[in-house]
Amino acid sequence: MAISENVYSKYVFLAGDRVNLACKLGFLWGVTSIFTEDTPSSMSLLATMFSVGLGALTSYGIGTYKAYKKTSEHINELGRIDERFFRTIVKKEDGYIVGACQIQGMYLAAKRHGSNEMISDFYRMKKEFTKNIVPNF
């Protein structure tokens, strides 16, 4: 049974980017510990603050989700990931290179909608157009 696109999109937002998943779980654990313990531990306070800070820095997975949606639409339209599209997602208009979130979103779209050949093309373009070394899974 295939997972519907709506459910998979929610998965991409919640857990598609492992850094944001760790932030969300750390926040959940920290807040739960703070409100259920009589005296919250310093570890739960630290986990909560760290998770909020790192989550804010990475936009809580919104970049992964947006890149996934754009790439999914692109793949549905062309049947592949075009190099110009890849460069557009990877390079912002002001020239800086985006983080691993957007690249992870593109990878998840290629994995969801494509073949092994499309994933091979993704890795080729990633190696050619970015210096990002974060593994995609």
Amino acid at the residue 116: N
Shared domain check, 74 and 50: no
Quote the domain boundaries for residue 77: 61-129
Buried residues in 102-127 as b, exposed as e (16+ CB within 10 A): bbbbbbbbbebbbeeebeebbeebbe
End-to-end Cα, the chain, rounded Å: 21
Q: Is 45 in the same domain as 70? A: no
pLDDT by residue, tens only, the chain of 137 residues: 467 888 888 888 888 888 888 888 888 988 888 888 777 788 888 888 888 888 887 788 888 899 999 999 999 999 999 999 998 888 764 444 557 788 899 999 999 988 889 999 999 998 888 877 777 77
Cut 0.85: pTM above it: no
Alpha carbons 137 and 135: distance in angstroms, whole number: 7
Radius of gyration of the chain (CA): 17
Distance from C-alpha of 128 to C-alpha of 106, rounded to nearest angstrom? 15
Q: Are residues 34 and 80 in the same domain?
A: no
Identify whether residues 72 and 45 lie together within a single domain: no
